[in-house]
Amino acid sequence: MSETRFISGDEAFAQGIRLARALVISAYPITPQTIVVERLAEMVEEGQLDSRFIHVESEHSAMMAAMGASAVGARTFTATSSQGLLYMAECLSYVSGGRFPIVMMNANRATALPWSIYGDHRDSLSLLDCGWIQIYVEDAQEALDMAVQAYALAEAEEIRLPVMVNLDGFILTHTYEPVDIPDQETIDAFLPGRDTWDRLDPENPVSMAVTVGPELNEEINILHHKASINALDTIKKVDDKYRKITGRGYGGALRTYLTEDADYILISLGSISGLIREEADRLRDEGIRAGAVSIRMMRPFPRDELIRVLKGARAVGVIDKDISFGYEGTVYTNVNSALMQGRSHIPTYDFVGGIGGRDISLADIEECFKDMMSGRPEESVKFIGTEVEDDIG
């Protein structure tokens, strides 16, 4: 029997990791990730979770210890945020290139300077190229469900790559919501223990994490790339199975809302997506055909699906809670690249907001839609939610 509890996103994620029976947990504390590791530590101490908790002395070591455990074949979990993610950045490509199916929760948080403990997406988006699968969730329920699904995805034979599941710092990690917690038998039926041939085994010694010279290095990276692409299809299969067993599912790499006949579609990642759907409903009441797309998986990037979904739109906007300084929001760059490959000439607009934890209001979202409808010439970036006049030219 499942039960419903009123818990935060961090706690929901910890519940998912418990249900997934992670055998090794290796983590270093950083706000706003801390609750997830505190809960897991409690579960281990109380005997609810048969797992080894490694008290590492840094995020770099958190990821290296996780790699060591995963290399022996253990299902392994870690969690971090912001500077912690950046501190372990070197290890991320080790882990993905070595094909270790570790799951990591990242509590999205601004990157210094200026210092901020609040959320935006610059931490994870700056590491889009590190070879991990990147998932963004919207609420605490999805956090729990994706903690479980992430292992099914990561460990799938055709993938065998690490998965980073992103939760908006504070907005999601610290907000309490009613969450349905499946029972252990249900999740066991969905996710058996990890069983892999690709591991250090005293009965059959191997070398792992090896050097490959220029003559074959590119080919090893091609294998990595192809494995990543496979996740576009596998995420749907995993979700179908999850829906059949738990009665709850999310679809694939995209969550679309009223896009079939939409003239104006606004794209986003993570927790802001619910508010965009709300605004789309409101605009529909006014007779404006608005729609919303939440990108649930940024890597691999669901290019073809996105092209299909956006095809009939008159304008497409992206809300980026990040900026690649000197250019534009990274989600926008990715969306535009897809549209270009789809031979699309739909005007696109980049709205950058929510930086450093700034709230994005319903009114801000309304402004975004209005801007798309105005037919103004596209600029690369429009900052939203600021009332401070730009008088420095």
Partner 1 sequence: MISDDEFFYGHKACGGCGGSLAVRIALKVLGERTLLTLPAGCMSAVSFNYPQMSYANNAIISAFAGTGAVMSGLKAGAEAMGLKDYHVLGIAGDGGTADIGIQALSGLIDRNDEGIYICYDNEAYMNTGIQKSGLTPFGATTTTTPAVPGGKGNIKPKKNLFEIVAAHGIAYAATASVGYIEDFAAKVKRASEVKGTSFIHVLAPCPTGWGIDTAETIEVAREVVDTGLWYLAEYYDGEYHLNRKPEEFKDVSHYIKRQGRFKHLNDEDINEIIRSRDKTWDRIAGFKQPGK
Partner 2 sequence: MIKPSLEKKVKITALSQLPQGGSCRTGVLVEKNAGWRNKCPVFDSDKCIGCHQCYLYCPDGVISRKGKKIKIDYDFCKGCGICERICRVGAIHMEDEK
Draw the binding track, 46-75, toward partner 2 (x: CB under 8 A; -: no contact): -------------------------x----
Among 5, 60, 255, 314, binds partner 1 (CB under 8 A): 60
Task: State the nearest-atom distance from the C-beta of 90 to partner 1, in Å.
Answer: 6
* Options 207-215, 296-304, 327-335, 374-382: segment touching partner 2 (CB under 8 A): 207-215
Minimum separation from the CB atom of position 85 to partner 2 (A) = 22
220 lies in the site for partner 2, by CB under 8 A? yes
- How far apart, in Å, are the Cα atoms of 246 and each of 7, 10, 18, 186? 19, 21, 16, 7
Give the C-alpha separation, 173 to 264, whole Å. 30
**Contact flag: residue 80 with partner 1 (CB under 8 A):** no
Task: Please state, in angstroms and rounded to a whole number, the distance separating the CA atoms of residues 250 and 362.
Answer: 24
Identify the burial level of 275 via C-beta atoms within 10 angstroms of its C-beta, where 0-12 means exposed, 13-18 middle and 19 or more buried: middle
Single out the residue of 5, 55, 241, 314 in contact with partner 1 (rule: CB under 8 A). Answer: 55
- Check binding of 221 to partner 1 (CB under 8 A): no
CB contact at 8 A, 369 and 266: yes
Task: Residue 62: name the closest of 35, 92, 41 by CA.
Answer: 92
- DSSP notation for 5-74: EEEEHHHHHHHHHHHTT-SEEEE---TTTHHHHHHHHHHHHHTSS--EEEE-SSHHHHHHHHHHHHHTT-
Query: Would you say 219 or 260 has its CB closer to partner 2?
Result: 219
Among 17, 35, 40, 64, binds partner 1 (CB under 8 A): 64
What's the half-sphere exposure (Cβ side, CA atoms, 13 Å) at 164?
31
Q: Which of residues 78-97 bind partner 2 (CB under 8 A)?
A: 97
The backbone torsions φ and ψ at residue 186, rounded to the nearest 5 degrees and listed phi first, read -60, -45
CA nearest to 144, candidates 246, 292, 256: 246
**Contacted entry of partner 1, partner 2, none for residue 219, CB cut-off 5 to 8 Å set by kind:** partner 2
Q: Partners of 103 in the beta sheet? A: 77, 163
Rounded to whole angstroms, the Cα distance separating 377 from 374 reads: 9
> Cα 174–178–183 angle (5° rounding)?
110
135 exposure class (CB count in 10 Å sphere: 0-12, 13-18, 19+): buried
Q: What does 392 interact with, of partner 1, partner 2, none (CB < 5 to 8 A by kind)?
A: none
Position 209 contacts partner 2 (CB under 8 A): yes
209 binds partner 1 (CB under 8 A): yes
307 binds partner 2 (CB under 8 A): no
| Nearest by Cα to 317 from 357, 371, 281 | 371
- 199 makes contact with partner 2 (CB under 8 A): yes
Q: Is the Cβ of residue 23 or residue 283 nearer to partner 1 in the bound state? A: 23
The answer to the question of residue 340 lying near partner 2 (CB under 8 A) is: no
Residue 198 interacts, among partner 1, partner 2, none and using kind-specific CB cut-offs from 5 to 8 Å, with partner 2
State yes or no: residue 362 binds partner 2 (CB under 8 A). no
Per-residue x/- mask for partner 1, residues 35 to 54, rule CB under 8 A?
----------------xx-x
Please choose, out of 27-35, 219-227, 253-261, 276-284, the segment that lies near partner 2 by the rule CB under 8 A: 219-227
Q: Contact region for partner 2 (CB under 8 A) — 23-31, 85-93, 145-153, 217-225?
A: 217-225
Which of 205, 214, 287, 393 is the binder for partner 2 (CB under 8 A)? 205
> What is d(CA 121, CA 132) in angstroms, rounded to the nearest whole number?
16
Burial label for 292, CB within 10 Å (0-12, 13-18, 19+), is buried
Q: Which does 213 bind (CB under 5 to 8 A by kind): partner 2, partner 1, none?
A: partner 1
**# chain residues binding partner 2, by CB under 8 A:** 21
> Which positions lie near partner 2, rule CB under 8 A?
71, 97-100, 160, 197-200, 205-210, 216, 219-220, 222-223
